[in-house]
Chain A
Amino acid sequence: MSRHWSLRRRVVVSAITGTVCSLFPAGISRADAPGPTDYSSTIVDIRTADDVPLPEGVKISVEGHDAFLAVRVSQGTVVEVPGYEGEPYLTISSDCTVFENQQSMSTWYNQDRFGSDVDQSLVDHDAPPDWERIGSSCTVAWHDHRLHYMSSTTPVNAEPGDILVSDSIPLIVNGIDVNVNVESRLMAGPDPVVPIVAAIASLGLVIASWRRSAISIAVFLAAITAMIVGAAQYMWSIPETGPQLTAMLIPALALLASGWLVLRSQSPSALIMLGAELLGSGFLVIWAWRRSSVLTSALLPTSLPYWLDRASTTAVTLIALAGITHSVISLMTLSTSSANVDG
């Protein structure tokens, strides 16, 4: 009895932890972590006042396809990034410490990809800057709305290759005015063949494993796959962009539940086994749900080949749905049998 309580407790703790992690906003200091997108932003040119050359070691790049502008400097270089209203927004001091002004509207406006629902009373426009230390790596990366198309709806009347955004982002490096001219283009969507082939293959695997009562093994393999895909997503972007830890954490919880089920040394009750299968599958469905746009987006946040990411996501989704279906049907059957025995 006490062992069952212990198992139940583990299941309950995993469920609560997983749910909290799944629902928790991603990223540490950036609410808008790099994600799948249909737009590719590039730096067209970097201009300085009077064509003064940039100090040595300054590197400016677009990160997350279209979401972040990053500036890396060597120690001793001072960078100032003005906000949309020209106010002090970000700064890298000469000792590499990075500060963010909590009294800048841009700080809050950039928390969301589309800058929606920002409470205007968050800042006092007349107050002096309230600098908060956000890093010490001589690198600053911030979400900039001038880098991307500002709507979640696909632009009407646009075709792949069309330039949707053409803007300029000002900086000050060691007192030199710098203008980073950027463009953002609509990219062609992915070929649906890969997800379709992956779906057919996964369906075959689901049927085969169901007939052999090996759905839990399929869920375990799906959790390993999701873990690899999630790790490739997490490690793809630079830390300053706040990559989503949940991309790895949710499959890790699924791996814990399904791994215990597959590798257990003792046989617990059918109820506990089905509960673990349901839990593992549930975490995978949440993971797949959160990244479902990888199937339709042109550019993905991953170091893996895009086809592999899409095929894996499709396979994990179907196996996880099969895992839920299997465990729910089995739990219902179990409950009916118990009722019959009791009757």
Chain B
Amino acid sequence: MVKFGTYLRNLRKQKGLTLKQVEKTARVSNSFLSQVERGVRNPPRADILNRLAVVYSVSVHDLLEAAGYVTVKPGEMQERERVERAYQHAITDPGYSQGTRMKGQTLSIEDKRFIVRLYEEATGQRVLKED
């Protein structure tokens, strides 16, 4: 599994945010966040992860898992990572443009799976492959 700091940095980069912008919206010190991303500090507390989840548009459960606060069955983790990889593929395909109007701030793994299915339907590609 990817280290928590790297995972957090990737989420921030995907959103195109700077540490200062995250500091402002999530009310987390940018120096603290930088240290977490570099692996110098341990993952933040759950309440901070909750605020980061909103800013990064991921579920707080995903962050808690990545931080090691919640454990999931090995098969379930593998499935989540498989869907997440397929979802990242779908949303970064330059030939495919897509957007949503969401009920909340974050997408669950089921929502991501749904979006991947729509991507597969449109492009004819199979990205949610069985490992």
A in complex with B: no
